[in-house]
Amino acid sequence: MPPAAALLLGLALAATASGRPAGQFTSRVSLVEVYATVTDSAGRLVKGLTADDFVVEEDGVPRRIQAFAAGTFPLSVAVGVDRSFSMSDRGLAAAVTATRTFSERLTPDDQLMIIGIGSETEVLAPLSNDRGVARRALERLARWGTTPLFDAVIQAIDAVQPAPGRRALILLSDGEDRYSRASADEVIAYARQHDVLVYPVSLGDSQEKVWTEVAAVSGGRAYAIRNHRDLDATLTAIADELRGQYLIGYPPGDGRDGWRAIRVRVNRPAVHVRARDGYLASAR
C-alpha cells in the first residue's frame, strides 16, 4: 500500500476524534487511503456526507470504513508548466498567471512545487509553503525545448510522491506529447500505480485521450481549455475540489501481492464519485 497511507489516515482519524488540526498527529494504523470527490448532476461538489453515505469495495468485496474525514487535509501539489516552444507566449503567460492564482488559494500548511517541462523536466521550485519561492520560479519561466509530456508526468509523479499528506499534480500544457521515451500506456499505468491525483489541463484546440485516462485512474480530472482567459477559473475549480474531498480509510483485503481494484459509491441518487481505481499491494 502507499507508504503515506498509514500516517495520513492516522492524522485524519485523530483529528476527527479530537477536533484538532490533522497535522499534529501520527499513527501506525495500516489502512488503505482513498480520496473521493463527489459531485451532483450539475457537477457541483456535494458536501456534508458522512461515512455511512459511502460504500467501498476492494476487488468487489465490501470493506468496512475505519477512518473518515471531510474538509481540509494537508496538501502537497506540483504544478507542471509546459514551457516548450509549442506553447505560445500568450499560453505560457496565462499558465503563469493561473498558477499564481492557484497558489493564493492554498492554505499556509500546504506545500507547492513548480516544475518546468521542456526538453528536460526540471524542479524549478521544490516543495515549500513559502509562496515567494514559487513566484520567483514562475517569473523566470521562458519558452525552451520540446514537449516530452509522458516522460514529464512520470518524473513529476516521482517528485511529489514522497511528500506527506495528500499529493496532487496539475499539468498545464498544449496537451500534445512530443519525443517521450514512455508510451501513452506506460504513463497511464504509472499514474494508476502511484498515489498522486493528476489534473491535466490542455490549452488549445486538441487534447490527447491519454490525459482523460490518466486523470480517471488517479482520481483527478482532465480539462480542455480553448480560451486562455478560462484558465484562472479552471485552476480555482481544481483548488476548490481539493478542498472539498473526502478521506476514506479501510483495512486492506487478503495479504496477496498485486493489483487490487477499488470502487467507491455513495448511497444517494444522481451523484458521481471520482476516486483512484485501485492500488498495487505488496505483502512484503
Top-level class of domain 75-242? alpha beta
Element (H, E) at 132: helix 131-139
What does the pLDDT read at residue 12?
Answer: 43
Domain spans of the chain?
5-70+244-281, 75-242
Nearest-CA neighbor of 150 among 171, 126, 125, 127? 171
Contact indicator for 111, 125 with CB cutoff of 8 Å: no
Cell 504513463 found at: 187
What does the pLDDT read at residue 174?
Answer: 85
Bridge partners (DSSP) of residue 225 are 203
Consecutive 10-residue averages of pLDDT for the chain (284 residues): 42 38 37 95 95 97 94 89 92 94 93 95 96 95 92 97 92 90 96 96 83 96 91 95 94 87 96 95 69
Nearest-CA neighbor of 105 among 63, 134, 65, 146? 134
Q: Write the pLDDT tens digit of every residue in 149-203.
A: 999 999 999 999 999 888 999 999 987 898 999 999 999 999 999 999 999 999 9
Bridge partners (DSSP) of residue 58 are 61, 262
Q: How far apart are CA 118 and CA 224, in angstroms?
A: 20
pTM for this predicted structure: 0.88
CA angle, corner 200, sides to 198 and 203, nearest 5? 165
What does the pLDDT read at residue 33?
Answer: 92
